[in-house]
Chains A and B, each alone.
Chain A
Amino acid sequence: MGMKLAGVMFLVMCIMGGIGYWYYNDTQERMAILQENNAKLEIAVETNEAALESLQTSYASAQEENTRLNEAYTSIRRQNQQLADKLQQIDLTAAAIANAEGIERAVNRGTENAGRCFELLSGAELTDKERNAENDIAFNKECPWLYNDFRARGLLNKATDN
């Protein structure tokens, strides 16, 4: 009877031991997977943070460009207004009656200068006269603001860089 009981107890212990062994291995495996998942999630969080930072930078950059563009527009509108202001002060008809030759020279020079502004905006090479211009008016009377632009880009001769 005692032997029988011992045998049953041994069997129960073996089963319990087997279950314990299985449980240990299963838990270890599960822990390894969870650890791996944790590491991956950490990386995912870092990636998300980097993406968010990148988006924030892009947003700031977009705001910056928008501000710069609005400033450029204001400046361009002011430049465009200059001719209208100038023409309001001049009676072209009266000027043509009083001094046809003089006004003819002036309008031909003005037309040439205005055409040159378009050439420069399209990327034309500067002439020696333009490169050595001492100020914005000497550069081009119709678009004097381009002088500062070219100077900032270092395309004018150093002698004029004052």
Chain B
Amino acid sequence: MILGLAACSTKPQIIEISSKPIEKPTLTLPPVDEINMRKLEWIVINEDNVDAVIARLAASGKPFAIYGLSGDGYGDLGLNFSDIRALVQQQQAIIAAYEGYYEQAEQAMDNAVVQD
């Protein structure tokens, strides 16, 4: 009966709970370098103005050599640049999304710690 009253057991174990919030170091990144585009000049040549353009370039004292593009080639170059610009914009949108997500997650975590 005595053993039964004493529950025939040892004392319950004391539970130890540890929950310490750890401060994450802030990630501070430098901004990207600003781009300064170099000024470039297109020269449009057709059958009618080719001599005048050559004369104009000769008069400017520069050696005569021209890298040419057809009308379609120029259009494609423009489209390529447009694609690269879109890529930059998409990457910026991704960075903004990460930033927004982590700021909100941090806020939610802070709120949870405050509630404790």
Contacts and interface: CB of A to CB of B under 8 A. Distances in A.
B62 interface: no
Given A51-B112, A69-B94, A118 B88 contact: yes
The secondary structure that dominates the A interface is helix
B66 interface: no
Interface string B72-101: 101100110111011011101110011011
A68 to B, nearest CB: 6
Contact of B78 (A91, A104, A114): A114
Contact of B35 (A54, A112, A119): A119
Contact of A115 (B2, B37, B100): B37
B11 interface: yes
A43 B115 CA distance: 11
A161 interface: no
A156 interface: no
Contact of A111 (B42, B75, B83, B100): B42
Given A65-B100, A104-B43, A73 B90 contact: yes
Contacts of B94: 69
B49 interface: yes
Contacts of A57: 104-105, 108
A123 B19 CA distance: 42
B41 A108 contact: yes
B78 A100 contact: no
B44 A80 contact: no
B116 A47 contact: yes
A126 to B, nearest CB: 12
A27 to B, nearest CB: 9
Contact of A121 (B39, B45, B92): B92
Nearest to B113: A50
Given A96-B46, A124-B35, A41 B15 contact: yes
B86 A80 contact: yes
Nearest to A56: B108
Contacts of A115: 37
Given A47-B19, A50-B112, A51-B112, A61 B105 contact: yes
B12 A34 contact: yes
B85 to A, nearest CB: 6
Interface of B: 2, 5-6, 11-12, 14-15, 17, 19, 31-37, 39-49, 70-72, 74-75, 78-79, 81-83, 85-86, 88-90, 92-94, 97-98, 100-101, 104-105, 108-109, 111-112, 115-116
Closest 7 CB pairs of A and B: A92-B71, A115-B37, A93-B71, A57-B108, A80-B86, A72-B93, A104-B44
